[in-house]
Chain A
């Protein structure tokens, strides 16, 4: 008895107390000051200093919860056993998602970036398996974007690929894809590392965005860097250098250079390909950010990209070679200035030059040899005021000059060398001027209404359009928002379509009406969104009996999009499913038929698992209903290709060789099951399938940062 009594007393006598010390940082490993660290149910604790360090002593013994609390962050708790031995704690606090109270939730919008409440962070974009660290590919995993073709093209909700508008820091980007094709291109032009964030809308967007029928992808480049970072990357098909250098606290520069050469990738994977010249591209970026006063900052962005590819063409009736090269330059100056506490001015001027050369040869003969250039100059101003009502007023003037020169086959859609070619030498110049105004008012019961109107005028067609837009949002409960959006959307054709010889100068701008109803549930751990929509298309281009273009095409698209994202401690998963039905009577159709981009079911499911803090694995399954096609002996667009699906896996390992170093080793396998996806049939003949050249593909690389 005496003995056990002593044992009871022993710990208490021996202990002079327990010292608990450690450091608190945020997810970016930056120190947090003023964090309240204490033992639950006691006053024992400390506040972290400016380096995030804390230290205190307690006389308590036994099991206790250590609580780590800071305003604006999620509380963290750790179970400790106090027995006199010093304890070290390293805590990482996660930022709290802001409540959506008083925040306007718009239907059909998704964001990426580092700000609070974004749908995807940059890391999630880069770690999306099978997305090749490409922004467009990552956005293809959002609902409402249909997989129509292998590549980056964004087909949004039963809309054609050109119906999605791209912007960078406010500048219109008309050539957002590399290795351009009629279905977009293979990659997006801009790497995710150049970007601070993106805003993507699959419909019902505000009056700020014009000349787009279906979707908007607005990208924002990096801001003033806060610390010096230099990075190097090397993979099977690419080499890149990037850096961020602050020059004093008011000036900073971000730069990057990428080179991508796919030859080693295809050779390593023993891919049987038809490349006569492997896809090769490089890009350079320089981004100068200057905070010229407390009230404003200026950003000068320069970007250059060049790519080329050569493929041998094997049509059952003839054999030839394709060679294409593209280059684009973008210069943009953007100024953000605060006029007062609640009013802001945004101004930008930009210039884009795009050049492209396409050659198709058959033996010694040129089937097609075309040079095109596209020069776009733009000035844009936006005024914003936030009082009891949010108010936006803006205007934009854009000049576009396109130039075509070369030989083109005289029959459209025919590359047969026996068809004679025409010499083409044309220059087109057009101006689009626009103004818009938009206001958001807030009502009791967490209702808000945004209404706006925009006006656009195209000098080429001499047509004016007025687009009213409305969106209503109701914060029904803490985590639930219901929204409704509708509006009229117009899009002008590319200038050459108005050519009296090759097009029609009388073409009306295309017209779409959106009706969207949306429900979102969102909390710290995840989000669920369900949306239903109906889109009515009018004034689409079609051929009349004598093969002239006229504006009497029409169509519709309707569907349901579903998105769920859930984050657990070590697992992050998201599923996007879209159901779509779309029909058009346009081009050479004679009645309502499903176009290529009528993809009934589209699913992408992504799972990322952090096995340890430095080892991550991901998987993505993508499924899309096959495209409609016209069988050789069947009715027009009556059948569908087999469905398209792939399973992609990826793994990455993070290692730090020295302080401030972050090295990432990554490895991925695309199309793990080696699924033979069919992309089409020559002349609708099921015995002549066009197969995807992407079978199982291994990729690996390393990125180094200091």
Chain B
């Protein structure tokens, strides 16, 4: 009897440990999401690298590996954009982001955010390897369509589609106006999006920065500034918006003075 009890206890204990582990992965993801957002706000590549280290360890827990990989890819992508001036390092992170997002999609194929992120990464890659323009262009069009189909209400999908269109010449199906309408749609959808817990919900502030960028491209600086301010209103820590506003202010002063 005692022995049976022991077996039962051990079994229960194992299940308990297992259940706890699941909870810890979720708990860690939530924690890391916050850390990641903070580092992005500050434009701090070193902090982001620390986050990567933690995420990598988390990816060996044997639970929600695809989601952890999504965050690793997002993190590498962020480092790649922050370090853009250091071409060699930037390229390394973008390549790594590509590898990890493909792994994530392999693990779970029907997650719209992964396909959208993949689109951004493919776009960045063309910057380093112009010879891939055609190949990546075709693939990213496929990926973004898939993302839209999977989750038509996902604001990040339209935002990423918009950034692609912003830098694609009109003759190839891009253009500022197309981008603006996509950003506007994204902004509307962001208003409806609630806190998604362990799943990605970033971009609420960023979409207004993109709107600002688009209007800046159209040489409508005052509208652009309004959007940048709107981004700051939503996220007062948003370093990117702060920096753009500071630069614009300085340029204005220099031009007038």
Which residues does A use to contact B, with CB under 8 Å? 34, 36, 38, 40-45, 47, 67, 69, 71-72, 102, 341-342, 386-390, 440-446, 448
Whether the pair B134, A443 counts as a contact (CB closer than 8 A) is yes
- The 9 nearest A-B residue pairs measured at CB: A442-B131, A388-B130, A40-B60, A38-B57, A387-B130, A444-B135, A43-B57, A36-B53, A388-B133
Whether the pair A45, B131 counts as a contact (CB closer than 8 A) is no
Q: B residues within 8 A CB of A386? A: 130-131
Q: In the complex, how many residues of chain B place their beta carbon closer than 8 angstroms to a beta carbon of chain A? A: 23
Q: A residues within 8 A CB of B87? A: 341
Whether the pair B134, A442 counts as a contact (CB closer than 8 A) is yes
**Which residue from chain B places its CB closest to the CB of A443 in the assembled complex?**
B134
A165 to chain B, nearest CB (A): 28
Whether the pair A67, B138 counts as a contact (CB closer than 8 A) is no
Whether the pair B57, A442 counts as a contact (CB closer than 8 A) is no
User: Would you give the 0/1 interface string for B37-69, flagging 1 where the beta carbon is closer than 8 Å to chain A?
Assistant: 000000000000100111011101110000000
In the assembled complex, the Cα of A34 lies from the Cα of B49 at a distance in Å of 9
Q: Which of B60, B130, B134 contacts A41 (CB 8 A)?
A: B60
**Which residue from chain B places its CB closest to the CB of A46 in the assembled complex?**
B53
B144 to chain A, nearest CB (A): 16
B87 to chain A, nearest CB (A): 7
In the assembled complex, the Cα of A40 lies from the Cα of B57 at a distance in Å of 7
A-B contact count (CB 8 A): 60
- 29 inter-chain pairs at a CB distance below 8 angstroms, sorted by A residue, are A34-B49, A36-B52, A36-B57, A38-B56, A38-B57, A42-B57, A43-B54, A43-B58, A45-B53, A45-B57, A47-B53, A69-B56, A72-B96, A102-B131, A341-B87, A342-B130, A386-B130, A387-B131, A388-B131, A388-B134, A390-B131, A440-B131, A441-B131, A442-B133, A442-B134, A443-B134, A444-B134, A445-B135, A448-B131
Q: A residues within 8 A CB of B138? A: 444
B218 in the interface (beta carbon within 8 A): no
Whether the pair A36, B56 counts as a contact (CB closer than 8 A) is yes
Q: A residues within 8 A CB of B33? A: none
Q: Say yes or no: A102-B58 contact (C-beta < 8 A), given A47-B53, A71-B96, A341-B87.
A: no
B129 in the interface (beta carbon within 8 A): yes
Q: A residues within 8 A CB of B52? A: 36
In the assembled complex, the Cα of A42 lies from the Cα of B28 at a distance in Å of 11
B192 to chain A, nearest CB (A): 35
In the assembled complex, the Cα of A342 lies from the Cα of B128 at a distance in Å of 10
**Which residue from chain A places its CB closest to the CB of B137 in the assembled complex?**
A444
**Which residue from chain A places its CB closest to the CB of B28 in the assembled complex?**
A43
In the assembled complex, the Cα of A574 lies from the Cα of B13 at a distance in Å of 53
Whether the pair B131, A446 counts as a contact (CB closer than 8 A) is no
Q: A residues within 8 A CB of B93? A: 71
Q: Among the interface residues A44, A342, A388, A389, which one has the most CB atoms of the partner chain B within 10 A?
A: A388
B176 to chain A, nearest CB (A): 22
In the assembled complex, the Cα of A151 lies from the Cα of B202 at a distance in Å of 67
Q: B residues within 8 A CB of A69? A: 56
* Additional A-B contact list (6), CB under 8 Å, known A36-B52, A71-B92, A102-B129: A41-B60, A41-B61, A45-B57, A440-B131, A442-B134, A444-B135
B8 in the interface (beta carbon within 8 A): no
B132 in the interface (beta carbon within 8 A): yes
Q: A residues within 8 A CB of B96? A: 71-72
In the assembled complex, the Cα of A386 lies from the Cα of B133 at a distance in Å of 13
**Which residue from chain A places its CB closest to the CB of B139 in the assembled complex?**
A444
B residues 78-96 in Cβ contact with A at 8 Å = 87, 92-93, 96
In the assembled complex, the Cα of A342 lies from the Cα of B131 at a distance in Å of 12
B residues 163-216 in Cβ contact with A at 8 Å = none
**Which residue from chain A places its CB closest to the CB of B133 in the assembled complex?**
A388
In the assembled complex, the Cα of A342 lies from the Cα of B91 at a distance in Å of 14
Whether the pair A443, B60 counts as a contact (CB closer than 8 A) is no
Q: Among the interface residues A34, A69, A71, which one has the most CB atoms of the partner chain B within 10 A?
A: A71
**Which residue from chain B places its CB closest to the CB of A445 in the assembled complex?**
B135
B173 to chain A, nearest CB (A): 16
B95 to chain A, nearest CB (A): 9
**Which residue from chain A places its CB closest to the CB of B24 in the assembled complex?**
A43
In the assembled complex, the Cα of A445 lies from the Cα of B142 at a distance in Å of 13
**Which residue from chain B places its CB closest to the CB of A441 in the assembled complex?**
B131
Whether the pair A442, B92 counts as a contact (CB closer than 8 A) is no
Q: B residues within 8 A CB of A72? A: 92, 96
Q: Say yes or no: A443-B135 contact (C-beta < 8 A), given A34-B49, A41-B62, A71-B96.
A: yes
B164 to chain A, nearest CB (A): 17
User: Would you give the 0/1 interface string for B115-126, flagging 1 where the beta carbon is closer than 8 Å to chain A?
Assistant: 000000000000
